[in-house]
Amino acid sequence: MATVTVLKFSNPQGAAEALHTVQDLDKQQLIELIDAALISWPAGKKSPTTKLLLTPLLAMAIEEGTSAVFLITTDAVLDRVADAMKAMKFEIFATSLSKAQEQTLREAFAENEMSRSDGTTPRRSP
């Protein structure tokens, strides 16, 4: 079962640093990173920047001067992951998803990305 995790940082660089740490943990087989998106809103900029890593994830609005990383992961070695992340200060939101819920979420994210790229909203079949 996959876990969706959102870490919100009080600075624009925090999310990139956390993502780098999680990618390193993935290489060490201490967590499996399935998908991720990174949002950063540097102070003084009109809007946040979004970096979609694997497949598109829906971005939530964040405050100026903050950042967030959205991760979908499985198979975490929790004590090692927690140890690697403990020096970082962030807010965390997490939930566990069933396979069906994960697929529904991925489809919703994909539809949102299609909608944003061509300016139209895709229609769902009834």
pLDDT (0 to 100) of residue 50? 84
Domain membership of residue 54 as a residue range:
2-118
Any domain includes 81: yes
Mean pLDDT, all residues of the chain: 77
Any domain includes 88: yes
Q: How confident is the model at residue 36 (pLDDT cuts 50, 70, 90)?
A: confident
Query: Residue 111, by phi and psi: left (phi above 0), alpha (psi -120 to 50) or beta?
Result: alpha
Higher model confidence: residue 20 or residue 57? 20
CATH number at residue 108: 3.30.70.260
Any domain includes 123: no
Q: Which residues pair with 41 in a beta bridge?
A: 66
Tokens of 37: 């998106």
Q: How confident is the model at residue 29 (pLDDT cuts 50, 70, 90)?
A: very high
Its pTM stands at: 0.59
Any domain includes 107: yes
CB 96 within 8 A of CB 5: no
Q: How confident is the model at residue 98 (pLDDT cuts 50, 70, 90)?
A: confident
pLDDT digit string, tens, across residues 1-22: 788 888 999 999 999 999 999 9
